[in-house]
């Protein structure tokens, strides 16, 4: 069965080419060919060699390179010695002959899923690690990492993401283009990253333009912080200085700063203004106004302390507390004492623990661990609000009673522990039924 002109054009379209196929021979340059060149060669050879190909075995599916799966494509000729020898000087001499070498189009749009489904968990992990190490195969930030694959092995759930399916298909496209098995192609690209870069990583060599945060947006966030901390408006000069500072760092970085990095620059600007506003206090031994990073560190400390004691308040109040705290260490001590007193009032059952210097989270550590274990969550995700029933009233709920209440809760029925127990019970039931 011959390959039609329409199928040849499909092969070119798959590679992005639009040049009509001719019977001209491609001049060999010794360089690795581009995807367009490879597919053009495949299509031309398929058209030229279809009449010579042994049984095509076409199955009606269109391959990734645009011609039917099962199509025999002539790759060239090889020298063989066959047939009856010539007798020269009483000795048999075999005359070398040439015969055509063919490959078969193997892969279509279902081949990647089929390949992955046939692999064991360990084989899938190895495949993903190899694919992830091939330069240019995945869009930036989407390649499977070692941590991702390891987590999949531990959970025994290594699935095929759309990104992985596309990556396998890209390698399969190459494999059919050059006439080899996909596993061979993967090994080739892993061993020869430069080949992979030439074939997959086809990008503009022009440097990307650095995207800077707009100056107006930076001015707005500085003005809001100045109002939150110091109840004053940011001047135009200060706003411009802040925007220039951030944009300069972004230009040097080659991209925008992280939220945390920008917050640090922002709070440093606010602290510098606080030093000017309270210049008379800056040299006091009791003051932290001149200590670098004091404002940001104090804000984070007070916010965390309130969380540990279960004493909630708006961030705007903590901003003001942070300013007072860096102006005077005594003010900081007073704020901490106030938070502890509020906690004693809110949680009388924990009063004795607070008097020992423990926070609410420290006092309820056993309850936090129990909830995390029963519900299959991380301890850091357990909030004091989740434990309200434990510390309500004048006495703590016994740990055993709290466990019983968790096992009766709706959250437990959605937990991994409950589902595992249900599966175990089901297996036991099946074994007993079978006998």
Mean of pLDDT values over 52-72? 68
Mean pLDDT of 382-394: 93
Provide the pLDDT confidence category of residue 196 given band limits of 50, 70 and 90. confident
Of the pLDDT bands very low, low, confident and very high (cuts 50, 70, 90), residue 100 is: low
Q: Is 160 left (phi over 0), alpha (psi -120 to 50) or beta?
A: beta
Average pLDDT, stretch 42-57?
Answer: 44
- Burial call 416-435: b when 16+ CB within 10 Å, e when fewer: eebeeeeeeeeeeeeeeeee
pLDDT of residue 164: 94
Joined together, the tokens standing for residue 344 give 């004693």
Residue 354 to residues 8, 99, 117, 342, 369, Cα–Cα distance (Å): 80, 90, 57, 11, 20
pLDDT of residue 92: 65
Mean pLDDT of 260-268: 92
Average pLDDT of span 12-40: 42
Tell me how far apart the alpha carbons of residues 194 and 25 are, in angstroms, rounded to a whole number: 27
Is residue 326 classed exposed, middle or buried when 0-12, 13-18 and 19+ CB atoms within 10 A define those classes?
Answer: buried
Is the confidence at residue 24, as pLDDT, over 50?
no
Q: What's the confidence (pLDDT) of residue 56?
A: 45
Q: What pLDDT score was predicted for residue 237?
A: 96
Mean pLDDT for the chain overall: 80
Torsion-angle region of 263 (φ positive above 0: left; ψ -120 to 50: alpha; else: beta)? alpha
Q: Please give the structure tokens belonging to residue 348.
A: 């009388």
Domain boundaries, the chain: 5-93, 111-199, 215-355, 368-430
pLDDT for the residue 414: 78
User: Per the structure block, which two tokens stand in for 146?
Assistant: 């070692």
Answer for the pair 337, 324: CB distance below 8 angstroms, yes or no: no
Is the pLDDT at 80 greater than 80, yes or no?
A: no
Q: Given this model, what pLDDT does residue 45 score?
A: 43
Q: Which residue has the higher pLDDT, 29 or 430?
A: 430
pLDDT of 40 over the 90 cut: no
SS (H, E, C) the chain: CCCCHHHHHHHHHHCCCCCCCCCCCCCCCCCCCCHHHHHHHHHHHHHHHCCCCCCCCCCCCECCCCCECCCEEEEEEEEEECCCCEEECCEEECCEEEEEEEEECCCCCCHHHHHHHCCCHHHHHHHHHHHHCCCCCCCCCCCCCHHHHHHHHHHCCCCCCHHHHHHHHHHHHHHHHHCCCHHHHHHHHHHCHHHHHHHCCCCCCCCCCCCCCCHHHHHHHHHHHHHHHHCCCCCHHHHHHHHHHHHHHHHHHCCCCCHHHHHHHHHHHHHHHHHHHCHHHCCCCCCCCCCCCHHHHHHHHHHHHHHHHCCCCCHHHHHHHHHHHHHCHHHHHHHHHHHHHHHHHHCHHHHHHHHCCCCHHHHCHHHHHHHHHHHCCCHHHCCHHHHHHHHCCCCCCCHHHHHHHHHCCHHHHCCHHHHHHHHHHHHHHHHHHHC
Dig out the tokens for 24 from the structure.
Answer: 């001209």
Angle made by CA atoms 297, 300, 306, in degrees to the nearest 5: 140
Instruction: Give the mean model confidence (pLDDT) for residues 12-28.
Output: 40
Which region among 15-24, 70-79, 341-350 has the lowest average model confidence (pLDDT)?
15-24
Residue 346, token pair as written in the block: 């809110």
Beta-carbon contacts of residue 321 (< 8 Å; ≥ 6 apart): 302, 335
Length of the chain: 435
pLDDT at 390 over 90: yes
Whether residue 27 is predicted with pLDDT greater than 90 in this model: the reply is no
Evaluate whether 61 touches 69 at the Cβ level (below 8 Å): yes
Supply the pLDDT for residue 432: 63
Residue 304 CA to residue 15 CA, distance in Å, equals: 56
* pLDDT attached to residue 52: 44
Higher pLDDT, 98 or 182: 182
Buried (b) or exposed (e) across 222-237, using 16+ Cβ within 10 A? bbebbebbbeeebeee
Given a contact cutoff of 8 angstroms between Cβ atoms, the answer to whether 226 and 270 are in contact is: yes
Q: What is the band of 211 on the pLDDT scale with cuts at 50, 70, 90?
A: confident
Q: Is the pLDDT of residue 153 over 90?
A: no
Residue 49 binned pLDDT confidence (cut-offs 50, 70, 90): very low
Do residues 233 and 277 lie in contact, with contact meaning Cβ atoms separated by under 8 Å? Answer: no
Supply 43's token pair: 């299509």
Rounded mean pLDDT of 252-276? Answer: 90
Give the separation between CA 39 and CA 29, rounded to whole angstroms: 17
Within 13 Å and on the Cβ side, how many CA atoms surround 167?
Answer: 28
Residues forming beta bridges with residue 73, ordered by sequence position = 103
The per-residue pLDDT for range 330-354, each reduced to its tens digit, is 999 999 999 999 999 999 999 999 9
Listed range (155-169, 224-238, 241-255, 406-420) with the worst mean pLDDT: 406-420
């Amino acid at each position: 069965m011959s390959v039609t002109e329409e199928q040849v054009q499909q092969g070119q379209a798959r590679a992005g080419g639009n040049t009509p196929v001719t019977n001209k021979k491609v001049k060999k340059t010794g360089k690795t060919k581009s995807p367009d060149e490879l597919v053009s060669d495949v299509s031309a050879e398929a058209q030229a060699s279809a009449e010579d190909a042994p049984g095509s075995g076409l199955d009606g599916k269109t391959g990734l390179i645009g011609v039917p799966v099962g199509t025999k494509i002539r790759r060239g000729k090889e020298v063989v010695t066959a047939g009856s020898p010539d007798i020269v000087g009483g000795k048999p001499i075999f005359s070398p002959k040439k015969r055509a070498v063919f490959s078969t189009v193997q892969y279509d749009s279902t081949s990647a899923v089929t390949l992955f489904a046939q692999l064991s968990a360990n084989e899938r992990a190895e495949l993903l690690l190899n694919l992830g190490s091939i330069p240019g195969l995945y869009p930036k930030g989407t390649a499977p990492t070692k941590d991702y694959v390891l987590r999949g092995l531990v959970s025994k759930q290594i699935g095929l993401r759309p990104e992985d399916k596309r990556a396998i298909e890209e390698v399969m496209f190459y494999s059919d283009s050059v006439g080899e098995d996909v596993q061979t192609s993967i090994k080739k690209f892993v061993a020869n990253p430069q080949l992979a870069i030439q074939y997959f990583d086809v990008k503009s060599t022009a440097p990307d333009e650095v995207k800077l945060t707009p100056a107006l947006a930076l001015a707005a966030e500085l003005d809001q912080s100045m109002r939150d901390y110091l109840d004053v408006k940011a001047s135009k000069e200060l706003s411009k200085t802040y925007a220039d500072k951030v944009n300069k760092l972004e230009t040097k970085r080659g991209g925008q700063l992280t939220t945390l990095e920008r917050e640090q620059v922002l709070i440093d600007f606010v602290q510098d203004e606080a030093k000017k506003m309270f210049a008379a206090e800056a040299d006091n031994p009791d003051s932290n106004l001149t200590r670098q990073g004091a404002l940001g560190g104090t804000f984070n400390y007070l916010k965390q302390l309130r969380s540990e004691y279960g004493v909630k308040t708006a961030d705007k109040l903590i901003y003001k507390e942070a300013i007072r705290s860096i102006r005077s260490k005594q003010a900081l001590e007073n704020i901490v004492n106030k938070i502890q007193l509020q906690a004693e009032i809110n949680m009388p059952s924990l009063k004795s623990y607070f008097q020992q210097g423990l926070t609410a989270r420290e006092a309820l550590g056993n309850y936090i661990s129990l909830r995390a274990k029963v519900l299959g969550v991380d301890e850091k995700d357990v909030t004091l609000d989740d434990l309200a029933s434990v510390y309500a009233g004048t006495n703590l709920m016994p740990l055993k009673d709290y466990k019983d209440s968790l096992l009766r809760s709706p959250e437990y029925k959605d937990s991994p522990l409950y589902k595992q127990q249900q599966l175990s019970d089901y297996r036991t039931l099946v074994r007993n039924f079978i006998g």
